[in-house]
């Protein structure tokens, strides 16, 4: 049985809707904080299930800019 590795896509946001769920860098779990710089530089990538779960509560994440979070 092949285990699927979650994929996260981060796209720089042009605007942030007033009703968007946003998490700031310092609100993220340490494992997510460790991965975020590389993920933003690559536009996303494959992550562990724990890191993917850390993004589930937000539509956007605020790091050096606002990024839309997409789960694939």
What digits encode the pLDDT tens for the residues 8-52?
999 999 999 999 999 999 999 999 999 999 999 999 999 999 999
Residue numbers of the domain that contains 55: 7-71
Is 64 a domain residue?
Answer: yes
Is 43 a domain residue?
Answer: yes
Q: Sign of dihedral through CA atoms 5, 42, 11, 64?
A: positive
Q: Are the C-beta atoms of 12 and 67 separated by less than 8 Å?
A: yes
Is 47 a domain residue?
Answer: yes
Is 18 a domain residue?
Answer: yes
Is 39 a domain residue?
Answer: yes
Give the separation between CA 9 and CA 47, rounded to whole angstroms: 10
Q: Are the C-beta atoms of 25 and 69 separated by less than 8 Å?
A: no
Is 46 a domain residue?
Answer: yes
The tokens describing 24, both together, are 């700031």
The answer to pTM > 0.95 is no
Is 36 a domain residue?
Answer: yes
Is 2 a domain residue?
Answer: no
Q: What total number of domains does the chain contain?
A: 1
């Amino acid at each position: 049985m092949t285990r699927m590795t979650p994929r996260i896509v981060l796209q720089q946001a042009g605007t942030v809707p007033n009703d968007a769920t946003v998490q700031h860098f310092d609100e993220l779990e340490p494992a997510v904080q460790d991965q975020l710089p590389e993920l933003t530089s690559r536009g996303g990538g494959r992550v562990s299930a724990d890191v993917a779960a850390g993004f589930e509560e937000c539509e956007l994440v605020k790091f050096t800019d606002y990024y839309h979070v997409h789960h694939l």
